[in-house]
Amino acid sequence: MMQPGLYQILFISTALFFIGVYGFFTRRNLITMLMSVELILNSVNLNFIAFNKYLWPEKLDGLFFTIFIIAIAAAEAAVAIAIIINLYRSHHSIDVEQAEEMKY
Amino acid sequence: MQGSTIIFYLLAVLTLGSGLLAVITRQIFRAAIFLLFSLIGIAGLYFWMQYEFIAAVQIVIYVGGITVLIIFSIFLTQQAGEKLSKPIMGRQLFSALAAFCGFALVMLQLVKHNFNASIENPLPPTVNNIGTQMLGVDEGGYSLPFEVVSILLLAALIGCIVIALKAKPETT
Protein backbone atom coordinates (compact mmCIF):
# COMPACT_ATOMS: atom_id res chain seq x y z
CA MET A 1 0.00 0.00 0.00
CA MET A 2 1.19 3.50 -0.75
CA GLN A 3 2.60 5.77 1.90
CA PRO A 4 -0.06 8.45 2.51
CA GLY A 5 0.91 11.89 1.35
CA LEU A 6 -0.53 14.93 -0.37
CA TYR A 7 -2.07 12.98 -3.26
CA GLN A 8 -3.95 10.59 -0.99
CA ILE A 9 -5.42 13.46 1.04
CA LEU A 10 -6.37 15.31 -2.14
CA PHE A 11 -8.07 12.14 -3.37
CA ILE A 12 -10.12 11.97 -0.17
CA SER A 13 -11.13 15.61 -0.35
CA THR A 14 -12.06 15.34 -4.04
CA ALA A 15 -14.15 12.24 -3.40
CA LEU A 16 -15.88 13.90 -0.45
CA PHE A 17 -16.59 17.01 -2.54
CA PHE A 18 -18.30 15.03 -5.26
CA ILE A 19 -20.22 12.92 -2.74
CA GLY A 20 -21.55 16.23 -1.45
CA VAL A 21 -22.36 17.36 -5.00
CA TYR A 22 -24.24 14.10 -5.64
CA GLY A 23 -26.25 14.56 -2.45
CA PHE A 24 -27.01 18.15 -3.35
CA PHE A 25 -28.36 17.10 -6.75
CA THR A 26 -30.47 14.17 -5.61
CA ARG A 27 -31.93 15.33 -2.31
CA ARG A 28 -35.15 17.29 -2.30
CA ASN A 29 -35.31 17.96 1.44
CA LEU A 30 -33.78 21.24 2.65
CA ILE A 31 -32.07 19.75 5.71
CA THR A 32 -30.37 16.98 3.75
CA MET A 33 -29.27 19.53 1.15
CA LEU A 34 -27.74 21.52 4.00
CA MET A 35 -25.86 18.38 5.10
CA SER A 36 -24.44 17.99 1.59
CA VAL A 37 -23.24 21.60 1.71
CA GLU A 38 -21.50 20.84 5.00
CA LEU A 39 -19.71 17.90 3.37
CA ILE A 40 -18.55 20.13 0.51
CA LEU A 41 -17.25 22.80 2.89
CA ASN A 42 -15.40 20.15 4.89
CA SER A 43 -13.68 18.80 1.82
CA VAL A 44 -12.47 22.32 1.02
CA ASN A 45 -11.12 22.69 4.55
CA LEU A 46 -9.25 19.40 4.24
CA ASN A 47 -7.72 20.65 0.99
CA PHE A 48 -6.49 23.87 2.59
CA ILE A 49 -4.91 22.02 5.51
CA ALA A 50 -3.22 19.47 3.24
CA PHE A 51 -1.70 22.17 1.03
CA ASN A 52 -0.56 24.07 4.09
CA LYS A 53 1.12 21.02 5.59
CA TYR A 54 2.78 19.55 2.51
CA LEU A 55 3.56 22.53 0.26
CA TRP A 56 3.98 25.62 2.45
CA PRO A 57 4.83 24.42 5.95
CA GLU A 58 6.59 27.70 6.79
CA LYS A 59 3.31 29.62 6.67
CA LEU A 60 -0.03 29.24 8.44
CA ASP A 61 -2.26 30.86 5.83
CA GLY A 62 -4.17 27.70 4.91
CA LEU A 63 -4.98 27.15 8.55
CA PHE A 64 -6.44 30.65 8.87
CA PHE A 65 -8.55 30.15 5.79
CA THR A 66 -9.86 26.96 7.35
CA ILE A 67 -10.73 28.72 10.59
CA PHE A 68 -12.57 31.48 8.74
CA ILE A 69 -14.42 28.97 6.56
CA ILE A 70 -15.53 27.07 9.67
CA ALA A 71 -16.81 30.31 11.23
CA ILE A 72 -18.68 31.30 8.08
CA ALA A 73 -20.09 27.76 7.70
CA ALA A 74 -21.44 27.94 11.25
CA ALA A 75 -23.13 31.27 10.48
CA GLU A 76 -24.51 29.87 7.22
CA ALA A 77 -25.91 26.76 8.92
CA ALA A 78 -27.60 28.87 11.58
CA VAL A 79 -29.24 31.18 9.03
CA ALA A 80 -30.29 28.25 6.84
CA ILE A 81 -31.93 26.46 9.74
CA ALA A 82 -33.75 29.63 10.77
CA ILE A 83 -35.10 29.91 7.22
CA ILE A 84 -36.06 26.21 7.21
CA ILE A 85 -37.97 26.52 10.49
CA ASN A 86 -39.78 29.62 9.25
CA LEU A 87 -40.66 27.85 6.00
CA TYR A 88 -41.95 24.81 7.87
CA ARG A 89 -44.12 27.04 10.00
CA SER A 90 -45.82 28.59 6.99
CA HIS A 91 -45.92 25.59 4.58
CA HIS A 92 -45.73 22.50 6.87
CA SER A 93 -43.17 21.03 4.49
CA ILE A 94 -39.48 21.56 3.78
CA ASP A 95 -39.45 20.04 0.33
CA VAL A 96 -37.85 22.36 -2.21
CA GLU A 97 -40.48 21.51 -4.82
CA GLN A 98 -43.18 22.97 -2.61
CA ALA A 99 -41.26 26.10 -1.68
CA GLU A 100 -41.31 27.74 -5.06
CA GLU A 101 -43.09 30.92 -4.03
CA MET A 102 -39.99 31.82 -2.00
CA LYS A 103 -38.67 33.46 -5.15
CA TYR A 104 -41.51 35.95 -5.50
CA MET B 1 3.32 -1.41 6.82
CA GLN B 2 3.46 1.27 9.44
CA GLY B 3 0.80 1.95 12.02
CA SER B 4 0.24 5.52 10.85
CA THR B 5 -0.49 4.30 7.31
CA ILE B 6 -3.11 1.89 8.61
CA ILE B 7 -4.69 4.63 10.71
CA PHE B 8 -4.74 6.97 7.72
CA TYR B 9 -6.57 4.48 5.52
CA LEU B 10 -9.01 3.59 8.29
CA LEU B 11 -9.83 7.29 8.72
CA ALA B 12 -10.22 7.66 4.96
CA VAL B 13 -12.64 4.74 4.81
CA LEU B 14 -14.60 6.10 7.79
CA THR B 15 -14.85 9.57 6.23
CA LEU B 16 -15.78 8.52 2.72
CA GLY B 17 -18.02 5.61 3.70
CA SER B 18 -20.12 7.51 6.19
CA GLY B 19 -20.17 10.54 3.88
CA LEU B 20 -21.58 8.37 1.10
CA LEU B 21 -24.13 6.78 3.44
CA ALA B 22 -25.15 10.24 4.64
CA VAL B 23 -26.21 11.25 1.14
CA ILE B 24 -27.92 8.00 0.09
CA THR B 25 -29.75 6.82 3.20
CA ARG B 26 -33.47 7.47 3.15
CA GLN B 27 -33.94 8.04 6.85
CA ILE B 28 -33.07 11.61 7.67
CA PHE B 29 -32.02 10.97 11.24
CA ARG B 30 -29.56 8.30 10.10
CA ALA B 31 -28.23 10.73 7.53
CA ALA B 32 -27.45 13.18 10.35
CA ILE B 33 -25.67 10.48 12.36
CA PHE B 34 -23.60 9.40 9.34
CA LEU B 35 -22.71 13.05 8.74
CA LEU B 36 -21.50 13.15 12.35
CA PHE B 37 -19.19 10.19 11.76
CA SER B 38 -17.89 11.72 8.55
CA LEU B 39 -17.02 14.94 10.36
CA ILE B 40 -15.30 12.94 13.11
CA GLY B 41 -13.26 11.17 10.43
CA ILE B 42 -12.14 14.53 9.04
CA ALA B 43 -11.17 15.66 12.53
CA GLY B 44 -9.15 12.44 12.80
CA LEU B 45 -7.38 13.31 9.55
CA TYR B 46 -6.47 16.69 11.00
CA PHE B 47 -5.08 14.91 14.05
CA TRP B 48 -3.18 12.58 11.73
CA MET B 49 -1.61 15.60 10.01
CA GLN B 50 -0.71 16.93 13.47
CA TYR B 51 -2.88 20.04 13.22
CA GLU B 52 -4.28 19.53 16.69
CA PHE B 53 -5.79 22.98 17.06
CA ILE B 54 -7.83 22.77 13.89
CA ALA B 55 -8.93 19.24 14.80
CA ALA B 56 -10.19 20.48 18.15
CA VAL B 57 -12.00 23.37 16.44
CA GLN B 58 -13.55 20.90 14.00
CA ILE B 59 -14.83 18.67 16.80
CA VAL B 60 -16.16 21.56 18.88
CA ILE B 61 -17.90 23.46 16.07
CA TYR B 62 -18.94 20.83 13.55
CA VAL B 63 -19.47 17.73 15.66
CA GLY B 64 -20.65 19.54 18.75
CA GLY B 65 -22.44 22.49 17.21
CA ILE B 66 -23.66 22.16 13.65
CA THR B 67 -24.67 18.49 13.87
CA VAL B 68 -26.65 19.10 17.05
CA LEU B 69 -28.31 22.08 15.33
CA ILE B 70 -29.22 19.86 12.37
CA ILE B 71 -30.60 17.12 14.64
CA PHE B 72 -32.72 19.66 16.51
CA SER B 73 -34.10 21.05 13.29
CA ILE B 74 -34.93 17.50 12.17
CA PHE B 75 -36.90 17.04 15.37
CA LEU B 76 -38.70 20.32 14.78
CA THR B 77 -39.66 19.76 11.18
CA GLN B 78 -39.96 16.01 10.54
CA GLN B 79 -42.55 13.45 11.49
CA ALA B 80 -40.95 10.57 13.39
CA GLY B 81 -40.22 7.43 11.40
CA GLU B 82 -41.15 8.99 8.10
CA LYS B 83 -38.88 8.03 5.23
CA LEU B 84 -37.71 10.49 2.62
CA SER B 85 -39.25 10.13 -0.78
CA LYS B 86 -37.14 8.17 -3.22
CA PRO B 87 -35.43 10.41 -5.78
CA ILE B 88 -36.43 9.97 -9.41
CA MET B 89 -34.34 7.33 -11.18
CA GLY B 90 -33.27 9.65 -14.01
CA ARG B 91 -32.19 12.38 -11.64
CA GLN B 92 -30.24 9.87 -9.55
CA LEU B 93 -28.52 8.52 -12.64
CA PHE B 94 -27.57 11.90 -14.07
CA SER B 95 -26.40 13.22 -10.69
CA ALA B 96 -24.16 10.19 -10.27
CA LEU B 97 -22.87 10.66 -13.80
CA ALA B 98 -22.17 14.37 -13.25
CA ALA B 99 -20.44 13.73 -9.93
CA PHE B 100 -18.36 10.91 -11.41
CA CYS B 101 -17.34 12.97 -14.44
CA GLY B 102 -16.28 15.86 -12.22
CA PHE B 103 -14.36 13.50 -10.00
CA ALA B 104 -12.60 11.88 -12.96
CA LEU B 105 -11.71 15.29 -14.41
CA VAL B 106 -10.21 16.53 -11.15
CA MET B 107 -8.31 13.28 -10.57
CA LEU B 108 -6.86 13.36 -14.11
CA GLN B 109 -5.59 16.87 -13.52
CA LEU B 110 -4.28 15.87 -10.11
CA VAL B 111 -2.18 12.90 -11.21
CA LYS B 112 -0.66 14.90 -14.05
CA HIS B 113 0.21 17.88 -11.88
CA ASN B 114 3.52 18.01 -10.09
CA PHE B 115 3.50 19.92 -6.84
CA ASN B 116 6.63 21.72 -5.69
CA ALA B 117 6.96 21.91 -1.96
CA SER B 118 8.77 24.87 -0.47
CA ILE B 119 11.98 24.01 1.34
CA GLU B 120 12.01 26.70 4.01
CA ASN B 121 11.98 25.99 7.72
CA PRO B 122 8.56 24.71 8.79
CA LEU B 123 6.59 26.79 11.26
CA PRO B 124 4.86 24.42 13.70
CA PRO B 125 1.09 25.05 13.94
CA THR B 126 1.08 25.50 17.69
CA VAL B 127 -1.58 27.56 19.41
CA ASN B 128 1.07 30.13 20.27
CA ASN B 129 2.05 30.71 16.63
CA ILE B 130 -1.57 30.69 15.48
CA GLY B 131 -2.64 33.26 18.08
CA THR B 132 0.31 35.55 17.39
CA GLN B 133 -0.32 35.61 13.69
CA MET B 134 -4.11 35.71 13.84
CA LEU B 135 -4.24 38.83 15.99
CA GLY B 136 -1.15 40.44 14.48
CA VAL B 137 -1.51 43.81 12.78
CA ASP B 138 1.81 43.80 10.94
CA GLU B 139 2.73 42.04 7.67
CA GLY B 140 0.91 38.70 7.36
CA GLY B 141 -1.36 39.34 10.33
CA TYR B 142 -4.99 38.38 10.19
CA SER B 143 -6.59 40.81 12.62
CA LEU B 144 -8.75 42.58 10.01
CA PRO B 145 -10.39 39.36 8.66
CA PHE B 146 -10.81 38.24 12.26
CA GLU B 147 -12.80 41.37 13.09
CA VAL B 148 -14.81 41.12 9.87
CA VAL B 149 -15.73 37.51 10.68
CA SER B 150 -16.74 38.55 14.19
CA ILE B 151 -19.11 41.18 12.79
CA LEU B 152 -20.44 38.65 10.27
CA LEU B 153 -21.16 36.10 13.01
CA LEU B 154 -22.95 38.73 15.09
CA ALA B 155 -25.02 39.86 12.10
CA ALA B 156 -25.86 36.24 11.18
CA LEU B 157 -26.99 35.40 14.70
CA ILE B 158 -29.21 38.49 14.92
CA GLY B 159 -30.55 37.66 11.47
CA CYS B 160 -31.40 34.10 12.59
CA ILE B 161 -33.33 35.37 15.59
CA VAL B 162 -35.26 37.82 13.43
CA ILE B 163 -36.07 35.21 10.77
CA ALA B 164 -37.11 32.46 13.17
CA LEU B 165 -39.14 34.80 15.37
CA LYS B 166 -42.80 33.92 15.49
CA ALA B 167 -44.86 36.80 14.08
CA LYS B 168 -47.05 38.29 16.78
CA PRO B 169 -50.75 38.34 15.98
CA GLU B 170 -51.90 41.90 15.45
CA THR B 171 -53.76 43.22 18.45
CA THR B 172 -56.03 46.16 17.78
> What's the one-letter identity of residue B10?
L
More confident residue, A93 or B48: B48
Confidence category of residue B172, pLDDT binned at 50, 70, 90: low
- pLDDT at B170 exceeding the cut of 90: no
What is the pLDDT at residue B171?
Answer: 66
Options 1.20.120.1200, 2.40.10.10, 3.30.870.10, 3.40.50.300; CATH of B1-93: 1.20.120.1200
In DSSP terms, A95 is beta-bridged to A29
pLDDT tens string for chain A (104 positions)? 578 888 899 999 999 999 999 999 998 888 899 999 999 999 999 999 999 999 988 888 889 999 999 999 999 999 999 988 888 888 777 777 777 776 66
> Could you tell me the domains of chain A?
6-103 (1.10.287.3510)
Give ipTM to 2 decimals. Answer: 0.90
H/E stretch holding B56 reads: helix B52-58
Query: Could you state, in order of their start, the residue ranges of all structural domains in chain B?
Result: 1-93, 126-172
Q: Residues B67-118: pLDDT tens digits?
A: 999 999 888 887 766 777 777 888 889 999 999 999 999 999 998 988 887 7
Handedness of CA A33, A39, A40, A41 (dihedral sign): positive
Contact B106 A60 (CB under 8 A): no
**Interchain proximity B61–A74, CB inside 8 Å:** yes
Rounded to whole angstroms, how far apart are CA atoms A23 and A41?
Answer: 13
Three-state DSSP at A54 gives helix
| Element holding B4 (H helix, E strand) | helix B3-24
pTM of the model: 0.89
**A7 close contact with B: CB closer than 8 A:** yes
pLDDT of residue A104: 60
- For A49, which of B5, B49, B157 is closest by C-beta distance? B49
The answer for B 1-20 residues in CB contact with A (under 8 A) is: 1, 4-5, 8-9, 12, 15-16, 19-20
